[in-house]
Amino acid sequence: MRSVPSVQHESDSPSLKITLKDVYAATDNLSASNFIGQGIAGKVYKGVLSNNQSVAVKHITNECYIETFVREVRSLSHVRHHNLVALLGYCESEAECFLVYELCHNGNLSEWLFGNGKVLSWIQRLEIAIDSARGLEFLHTYPNGCIVHRDIKPSNILIDTNFQAKLSDFGLSRVMDLGQSYVSSEVRGTFGYIDPEYRANHHVKASGDVYSFGIMLLQLLSGQRILNIDFERPMSLGKMARDVVRGGDISEFADPKLEGKYSVEAFDIVLKLALSCIGLKRQRPSIGQVLYSLQKTLDISL
């Protein structure tokens, strides 16, 4: 691996820096028994720091993602909210980089939606959506400038011991200065969750996160993967949802794991809300408006 550009910024806190020795001690030398996942940037291990705090340690092994490591530490080490996974520390050496986060013991939303033997109730799904929207609203209304996440998807929504959802993985995030309506950037993100307008004009905007959030809401409702292709009737999640709204059967779109246990009124509101999120950019709601609607559906459901 090439040498790592040094991480420095004006709010750098010495307490964020963790030694290589501490990283290896926390993870039992990156033991296979502590391995909990792998992304395109590298592997993730669970561990315990010397103060007994449980952590998730991301080992950046892909050279192409050194830039995202630096961006995450520089931009977001000081950003704190109860619906964002906290970056507790980082470690950089000439050979390798590590990011140390709080550990969310219940894994990620993707595992709960698509994993065998895992079931989320209707109320849990709404609460996860509300938590995620709160975290995203905090980013979009950050006082120093709107922070656009750029990679909202189920695997980046982590669930803690209390079943509170937290947004994670800020390696692609971009900060817009106050007064800026967009920043230009190469298209980055995950296939299926990227706003088509961003793909066309390369303008990073908060509305791009709203689009991704809308796709995630459709998955919360349907329990379907973004690339789940039925060869007899291949159809995108968005098209399936539009067909339901035009007079189709909600029960055909609903996740079978729900076993029909949901408020039809609330389901219909969330379905239409999701479609408004993935509609034309100028007609999309803000994440604050999305949050308000989701809270209303929770009240209806309770």
CA distance 181 to 141: 13
Q: What are the Cα distances from residue 202, in Å, to 185, 196, 277?
A: 6, 10, 19
Question: Where in the sequence numbering do the catalytic residues fall?
Answer: 151
Q: What are phi and psi of 277, to 5 degrees?
A: -70, -30
Output the CA torsion sign for 217, 222, 223, 224.
negative
d(CA 83, CA 131) in angstroms, rounded, equals 6
Q: Amino acid letter at 298?
A: L
Give one DSSP letter per residue of the chain, joined into a string. Answer: -PPPPPP--TT--GGGB--HHHHHHHTTTT-GGGEEEE-SSEEEEEEE-TT--EEEEEEE--GGGHHHHHHHHHHHTT---TTB--EEEEEE-SS-EEEEEE--TT-BHHHHHHSTT----HHHHHHHHHHHHHHHHHHHT-TTSPEE-S--SGGGEEE-TT--EEE---TT-EEPPTT-S-EE----S-TTTS-HHHHHH-EE-HHHHHHHHHHHHHHHHH---TT---SSS---HHHHHHHHHTT--HHHHS-GGGTT-S-HHHHHHHHHHHHHHTS-GGGPPPHHHHHHHHHHHHHHH-
